Structure 1
């Protein structure tokens, strides 16, 4: 039971990181005005913020290796 919960949590974080990557590369973002509840909006902001942090962390790890280079 605990293993399944950890698996679902890891999947949720990965989905959030993918959404952060989509936002960074395309500018598409979640339309929060469509949600009326402040609590749910706050939860979604927290969820997407976790994805942003995971995305930044992954990018910094990859940038510090010799296997990847930044092309502008």
Structure 2
């Protein structure tokens, strides 16, 4: 696999992990403690990373909710 292919694969994996964390947050209320990160730059990027997962989760739920293949119970 090429360098670009591996980079894309890792980026997609990172988004999937962030989306999984967003789902855990929505269903259980558990979230990573990013307040304990001392470096402000890392804390800001961690917040952006988790917000990306929230956005992907919201988009996925909205898309599946309007699909005829899924139903709400």
TM-score surpassing 0.5?
Answer: yes
Unaligned runs of 5+ in 1: none
- Between the two structures, name the one with larger relative contact order (CA 8 Å, sep ≥ 6): 1
Which consecutive residues of structure 2, in runs of 5 or more, have no partner in the other structure?
none
- What's the counterpart of residue 70 of structure 1? 72
Instruction: Name segments (4+ residues, structure 1) moved above 4 Å.
Output: none
Task: Name the CA distance, whole Å, in 1 between partners of 2:24 and 2:64.
Answer: 18
C-alpha RMSD of the superposition: 0.7
Rounded Cα–Cα distance in structure 1 between residues aligned with 2:4 and 2:57: 25
Q: Distance in 2 between matches of 1:18 and 1:29?
A: 11
Cα drift, residue 52 of structure 1: 0.5
